[in-house]
Chains A and B, each alone.
Chain A
Amino acid sequence: MFVAHGRVNSPHPLMGPRLTNISLTGQTADFAAHDRRLLAARRAGAGDLRFRLLALGAAVTVMLVFAGVIAALLVGALPAFRAFGLSFVTTDAWSPTQETFGALASVYGTLVTSAIAMLIAVPVGIGIAIFLTELCPRPLRRPIAMAIELLAAIPSIIYGIWGLFVFAPWFQAHVQQPIIEATDGIAVIGSLLGGAPYGIGVFTASVILSIMILPFICAVTRDVFETVPHVLKEAAYGLGCTTWEVMWRVALPFARTGVVGGAMLALGRALGETMAVTFVIGNAHNIDVSLFSPGTTISATIANEFTEATGALYSSSLIALGLVLFVITFIVLAGAQLMLRAMERRAGR
């Protein structure tokens, strides 16, 4: 029988002695050691439970934070909704001096900037993902993928300052001016791309947003493209398909759920993006047909006005804006998660 001599040298009291302390001493059972281990077992049981509860507590904290965010926004937004009711989201009059607040201009700006950003970022993001998985020479793959991912790491305030001082002036002189001159007088496009070339405005904000969400779309698309079984692609190539046909007709349909999920994840980011937009959108509470005109988004309005908001109704209206934003992003992000989970399950099978 194995019996430990002297101090039990073990990584844990319950785990028995290290081999160095074991000797074969025949029948003599070490009752003291047995008792010690029983005691240790009891103590370890209590410690084990404590650790488990600690972990559970942390997990519950995550849920409490989430519930707290919703509760705080609801409580804060209550005065505004009580004063304006549903017209808060259906009117666009935003006047701190007259204490009337309607969120429509902000909501419109949020939706339009995000939509344009998606129009640019989705095709480009998928294009980059295809380039990286199918066309890129192997040694270049990792550096290029890393560079694209670094776009996501750059803080949004950096996009903001760069957009304001570098991109907007360039865009104003070299893109906006010629476009406005060229489209002037054309029926729909003329008014869509008309007005004065400010440099900053809804379209500028959309372009900056599209660069910011590009890496999200690219990363998720790349991940789901890797789940496409090689035999599927090889079979298609074997039939004589070109790279384009393999990607468009085989890989993309297979990975559709994941790509849509990734796009929605990016949309969630775009909707809530604050600083970059605040710098370049112009912060004007108006709904203008022209995409070159200044506008505002929910997050930009809050960032600009919250600390200067005087009066309970003004603050409450801004918090109500936050609630509207949270609800919109929640729906989009929840949808994204459901699709990505479905994709994961399929890839796991």
Chain B
Amino acid sequence: MTSRLANPGLYLRRRLTNGLFILLSLAAALFGLVWLALILYALLKEGVSAMGPHIFSLPTPPPMMEGGLYNAILGSVIMSALAVAVGAPIGLFAGTWLAEYGRHHRLAFIVRFVNDILLSAPSIVIGLFIYEVMVARMGHFSALAGAASLAVIVIPVVTRTTENMLLLVPGGLREAASALGAPRSFVITAVTWKAARAGIVTGVLLAVARISGETAPLLFTALNNQFTTADLNSPMASLPAVIFQYAMSPYDDWHALAWAGALLITAAVLALSILARLLERKQRR
């Protein structure tokens, strides 16, 4: 039987190329998924065996002694809360200005550009910045400086998501409110913010997820502290800093604590990211 195709060889070659390419892209997807699975598996295996009530009740121990991660968890929570309390309002207002007031303003292009650079800038550089402005001036490491460096990371995240989410709010809503005589600030606070609430919360959640694993900027701002403290003017322990110190140490029980901390952080961050994504989907609908 003769083929109806003018050039059966060419046809075969094209189909083979196509098949190979489909296999390769399938392999690429598997490649990505396998890493995620491997990392989560290792975290669960090592982290769960090191987990226990002592993790939450005892402070970090000297080598070869019993202890937990209480002071590190406390430090992480205090500094993250402070950073969000300072950074989120600034980001919210900056994003609001970009979306509501300066949408086509020349300044807005610069702010957007700068904000996106800050969003991806190396976090260790942020740490150096806060070290120069706060630690070197005050003469000592402090939880305040740690929170400040985290706040600098929060601001661009919240700014970007707030702007994006406010832009999703239909202009008709704003016009209707303005037509009723509401001043601009009232339109924004009572109408657009309300309409974009889920999206704005998404931004804050993403920011919390981002800073709860940040290590590099904390290394030379909040440093670390073996003891439990709530004094904002003294060095403070944080989960990532403790993980770094303990993982690099030669002691097995410190390694176990590092794994437990890693499991805690990952669980928190993944829960926050999934929640943020669900909220964002709700906003976009």
User: Is the A/B pair a real complex?
Assistant: yes
Interface of A toward B, CB cutoff 8 Å: 11-12, 14-16, 44-45, 47-48, 50-52, 54-63, 65-66, 68-69, 72-73, 75-76, 123-128, 130-132, 135-136, 144, 146-151, 153-162, 164-166, 211, 214-215, 218, 242-245, 247-248, 265, 268-269, 271-275, 278-279, 299, 302-303, 306-307, 318-319, 322, 325-326, 329-330, 333-334, 337
The main secondary structure of chain A at its interface with chain B is helix
**Once the chains bind, are B152 and A243 in contact (CB under 8 Å)?**
no
Please, which residue of chain B has its CB at the minimum distance from the CB of A41? B183
**Once the chains bind, are A245 and B14 in contact (CB under 8 Å)?**
yes
Number of A-B contacts (CB under 8 A): 286
**Once the chains bind, are B124 and A272 in contact (CB under 8 Å)?**
yes
Cβ of B120 < 8 Å from any Cβ of A? yes
**Once the chains bind, are B22 and A273 in contact (CB under 8 Å)?**
no
Please, which residue of chain A has its CB at the minimum distance from the CB of B248? A279
**Once the chains bind, are A12 and B259 in contact (CB under 8 Å)?**
no
Kindly state the separation between the CA atoms of A72 and B148 in the bound complex, as whole angstroms.
15
**Once the chains bind, are B121 and A329 in contact (CB under 8 Å)?**
yes
The A-contacting residues of B in range 82-126, CB under 8 angstroms, are 89-94, 96-98, 100-102, 107-108, 110-111, 113-118, 120-126
Please, which residue of chain B has its CB at the minimum distance from the CB of A330? B117
**Once the chains bind, are A269 and B120 in contact (CB under 8 Å)?**
yes
A residues near B145, Cβ cutoff 8 Å: none
**Once the chains bind, are A165 and B255 in contact (CB under 8 Å)?**
yes
Contact indicator per residue, chain B 10-47, by CB within 8 Å of chain A (1) or not (0)? 00001101100110111111011101101100110010
B residues near A319, Cβ cutoff 8 Å: 128, 132
Tell me, rounded to whole Å, the shortest Cβ–Cβ distance linking B77 to chain A: 16
Tell me, rounded to whole Å, the shortest Cβ–Cβ distance linking B279 to chain A: 14
Kindly state the separation between the CA atoms of A261 and B170 in the bound complex, as whole angstroms.
29
**Once the chains bind, are B43 and A165 in contact (CB under 8 Å)?**
no
**Among candidates A72, A132, A158, A211, residue contacting B262 with C-beta atoms closer than 8 Å:** A158
- In this complex, the member of A45, A56, A58 whose beta carbon has the largest number of chain B beta carbons within 10 angstroms is A58
A residues near B24, Cβ cutoff 8 Å: 127
Stretch with Cβ within 8 A of A (4 or more), from B59-67, B209-217, B225-233: B209-217
Q: Given that A155-B213, A157-B213 are contacting pairs, would A59 and B97 also be in contact in the complex, using a CB cutoff of 8 Å?
A: yes
Kindly state the separation between the CA atoms of A156 and B217 in the bound complex, as whole angstroms.
13
B residues near A12, Cβ cutoff 8 Å: 181-183, 186, 190
Cβ of B51 < 8 Å from any Cβ of A? no
20 contacts between A and B (CB under 8 A): A15-B181, A44-B185, A48-B183, A51-B185, A56-B102, A58-B92, A59-B98, A61-B90, A73-B132, A76-B132, A144-B33, A153-B270, A157-B213, A158-B266, A162-B38, A164-B247, A165-B42, A265-B120, A303-B216, A337-B113
**Once the chains bind, are B213 and A158 in contact (CB under 8 Å)?**
yes
Kindly state the separation between the CA atoms of A33 and B176 in the bound complex, as whole angstroms.
23
B residues near A147, Cβ cutoff 8 Å: 32-33, 36
Tell me, rounded to whole Å, the shortest Cβ–Cβ distance linking A192 to chain B: 23
Please, which residue of chain B has its CB at the minimum distance from the CB of A338? B113
**Once the chains bind, are A15 and B125 in contact (CB under 8 Å)?**
no
Tell me, rounded to whole Å, the shortest Cβ–Cβ distance linking A173 to chain B: 16
B residues near A132, Cβ cutoff 8 Å: 29
Count of chain B residues with a beta carbon within 8 Å of a chain A beta carbon: 95
- In this complex, the member of B29, B121, B129, B159 whose beta carbon has the largest number of chain A beta carbons within 10 angstroms is B29
Tell me, rounded to whole Å, the shortest Cβ–Cβ distance linking B25 to chain A: 4
A residues near B97, Cβ cutoff 8 Å: 55-56, 58-59
**Once the chains bind, are A153 and B209 in contact (CB under 8 Å)?**
yes
Tell me, rounded to whole Å, the shortest Cβ–Cβ distance linking B94 to chain A: 4
A residues near B255, Cβ cutoff 8 Å: 165
Contact indicator per residue, chain B 161-197, by CB within 8 Å of chain A (1) or not (0)? 0000000000000000000111111101110000000
Question: Which 4 pairs between the two chains have the least Cβ-Cβ distance?
Answer: A155-B213, A272-B122, A127-B28, A58-B93
**Once the chains bind, are A303 and B185 in contact (CB under 8 Å)?**
no
Q: Given that A243-B21, A275-B244, A307-B219 are contacting pairs, would A329 and B265 also be in contact in the complex, using a CB cutoff of 8 Å?
A: no
**Among candidates A60, A162, A164, A306, residue contacting B39 with C-beta atoms closer than 8 Å:** A162
Kindly state the separation between the CA atoms of A173 and B10 in the bound complex, as whole angstroms.
44
**Once the chains bind, are A155 and B114 in contact (CB under 8 Å)?**
no
**Once the chains bind, are A73 and B93 in contact (CB under 8 Å)?**
no
Contact indicator per residue, chain B 246-285, by CB within 8 Å of chain A (1) or not (0)? 0110000001001100100110011001100100000000
Please, which residue of chain B has its CB at the minimum distance from the CB of A70? B129
B residues near A162, Cβ cutoff 8 Å: 38-39, 42-43, 262
Tell me, rounded to whole Å, the shortest Cβ–Cβ distance linking A177 to chain B: 20
Cβ of B240 < 8 Å from any Cβ of A? yes
Q: Given that A155-B212, A158-B265, A268-B120 are contacting pairs, would A165 and B247 also be in contact in the complex, using a CB cutoff of 8 Å?
A: yes
Cβ of B155 < 8 Å from any Cβ of A? yes
Contact indicator per residue, chain B 200-241, by CB within 8 Å of chain A (1) or not (0)? 000000000100111110011001000000000000000010
**Once the chains bind, are B183 and A333 in contact (CB under 8 Å)?**
no
Q: Given that A130-B25, A158-B266, A334-B117 are contacting pairs, would A322 and B214 also be in contact in the complex, using a CB cutoff of 8 Å?
A: no
